[in-house]
Structure 1
């Protein structure tokens, strides 16, 4: 009955508490599963960012820039070795969600006229992706809150990197920066910040390399 078409949505809103709405083209919604493909695509994008973030955490932990919370006594081979197990779990979750997106895409495309015989597999893949991401997001959020920075190691890496001279370009220009890089590379000094301090003065270096300046949105134009 036509009344059912309108009343069922209101009843579902009441029962689920969700902001559900009726599709504009009921026949189209029955024949096509592209709405699920869109949702799965959003979940896939989330999974991609999740993998990137978790991989960055693994790398920074390996380099000693940060310390991830210890979740196990040690690895199965080396006692005392702290593996980034939750970051690795997040990466595996992301890979699984990306794989599920392929299933959703393939099953949505396999429909026949006004029916899709593969909706059960599509639903299983989509619901699994939602459940996996909800769970890993909660776990990773708590894990990230326990991260501590290794200030000494970060300072060591920063001060030794020749690339920090990039921050000085607005102040000294490209040609001067190139000359300094060449001189540094051919010398015996291994600490770039110390080298630049000797060449340009402590006041300028401390000002340019302050955390505020380095993280600011651009720099003030001299003009």
Structure 2
């Protein structure tokens, strides 16, 4: 059995490479976690440049039993398989997520579509769906210009929290640097909270 925080998966979704609050804060959190567990392995996944959207061939491949998949189907699922392996390997997941137009960035949604797979990260049972990724800890670093995290117009954190829980990741901590266009000092407050988590 792996030790807590033995493997950290860091997912960045901000379109900005420089000046990104979510990148800066998630980097600070990962650095802090490594200071406590220096032997931890970090898997970095930057989805900001976009990922393939699901199409008919991809869906057909997932509905085909693994042993019966053709070479083309295995190739079609290769990236998804890699992303799923990264998620399964992680004890801790750090997601840097800006809120774009009240929801998650399209690139992050594409990542979710590629990792939320029946029989891989969740399964259907006679009692309903069951997540297969229990025992993991997730930190979601959120930044927004005007959307208040947790408000009725925040469709990002509620959605991401639900999807993570659907896959069995129910220990989710949200760190909000929200409404930065209204109060830039919230970035400093979020950084302080991030450093406290990692302390």
TM-score by length of 2: 0.23
The structure whose residues are more often helix, as a share, is 1
The structure whose residues are more often strand, as a share, is 2
TM-score by length of 1: 0.22
Higher Cα Rg, which structure? 1
